[in-house]
Every structure is written in structure tokens, then in C-alpha cells.
Chains A and B, each alone.
Chain A
Amino acid sequence: KQEVTQIPAALSVPEGENLVLNCSFTDSAIYNLQWFRQDPGKGLTSLLLIQSSQREQTSGRLNASLDKSSGRSTLYIAASQPGDSATYLCAVYTNAGKSTFGDGTTLTVKP
């Protein structure tokens, strides 16, 4: 059974800091890994999708990496802003045809 863990559960940083969010998964038989952000009471916004054959993806200030063999992914956020405050979730889509989500990291960026 696939398990996804995100550490830390919460993170508070001052504006402008670069930061890394971590996601680990137990079963490396995945098709892809996707990072999302969720604002309170809202749906999920897709940030980046990394296919199992890829090592990283970049979008603006965001960079996500994937190391399938070790079961790890990181989301790097450069020059954080208060608007980045949200819960960040990672999800792996497995060969079993299901998405498994981590519990998320709640990020607070202080002005």
C-alpha cells in the first residue's frame, strides 16, 4: 500500500527566504507525482507535474525534483512571498491507478 509523507507539517518563514518542502513515498512504482497548493476552504491548484521518467520541473519561482529510486520529491520555492502562504500537497499516481496524497505542509510566509 502506497504511503505518502510530507515533512514538516508546518513551516513559518520570513518573506524573501528560499525554502524546501519534502515529500516521500513508499512504493516507487509510480506514473507521476504532482504538487498542489490549497488555500483554506478551497480546492486544489495544480503547481507542477513530474512524470516518473523526469528528474525535475520548473515553473516560475517553483522547482520540483523527483528521485523515484529513493522515493523522494522536493518542492523548492524561491524568494517566498506572503501570497505563497497555503497548504502544499504532493500526490503520487501509482500503477494501481490511484492517487495517494500526503497530509500536506502548511506554509506561512511572514511579511
Chain B
Amino acid sequence: KAGVTQTPRYLIKTRGQQVTLSCSPISGHRSVSWYQQTPGQGLQFLFEYFSETQRNKGNFPGRFSGRQFSNSRSEMNVSTLELGDSALYLCASSLESTSAQYFGPGTRLTVT
């Protein structure tokens, strides 16, 4: 069974731009969660989608948004990028919200 895939793997953007990251979960998994990982803040929960509905949201500004499609693939969008948005963005999928999470390799976003 293929694992969680994330595209692109690396991205360089300038301040003020917007970016869209993509995540394809393991086949059959309906829950997709997004996390931001930085050296200073560690791993922080962004949001979780289940069956195309956002179930939970972390403490991030409204510039961070996401969606999930009927095939469970998910996208995350960050608008008006700031330097502090530079991070590794990780996506995790699970069968149900309370099941084991399986992570993708991440997208490394650099904002200049």
C-alpha cells in the first residue's frame, strides 16, 4: 500500500505571495491532518479534515486554510506569506480520527 505523499517537496516563495500544498492520504484513510514544524515551536496542529469536513482547527490565523476532496486528498493554502511561515509542513492520514496517524515526507516551505 502506498504511503502518504505530499507535493511539492520543496518550495521557495516571497513575502506576500500565497501557496498551496497537496497531500494524498493512504488509500482508504478518510482523516487528514496538517501540522507545521519549526525549530522554535516544534510540531503544531493546524487542522483536521474528515470526509470533506473540517473537524478541528489549531491556533493559527485565518491565512491558513484547507480543504479535502471526495477522494480524501487534501490541500492546504497559506495566503499573504510571512517570513515566520517558513517551516516543514507535514500531512498525516488515518482511518479514523482516533486511529494511528501516518505521516508524509513533508513540504519544506521557505519564505524570503
Contact = CB atoms under 8 A, between A and B. Distances in A.
A binds B: yes
Interface of A: 31-32, 34, 36, 41-46, 49, 89, 91, 93, 96-104
A43 B9 CA distance: 11
3 smallest A-B Cβ distances: which pairs? A101-B43, A44-B103, A97-B56
A49 B100 contact: yes
Contact of A34 (B48, B55, B90, B100): B100
Q: Chain B: interface residue count, which band?
A: 20 to 34
B64 interface: no
B24 interface: no
A97 B48 contact: yes
Contact of B42 (A45, A46, A49, A101): A101
Contacts of B103: 36, 43-46
18 contacts: A32-B98, A41-B108, A42-B106, A43-B4, A43-B104, A43-B106, A46-B101, A49-B99, A89-B43, A93-B98, A96-B56, A97-B55, A97-B56, A98-B48, A99-B35, A99-B45, A99-B101, A103-B42
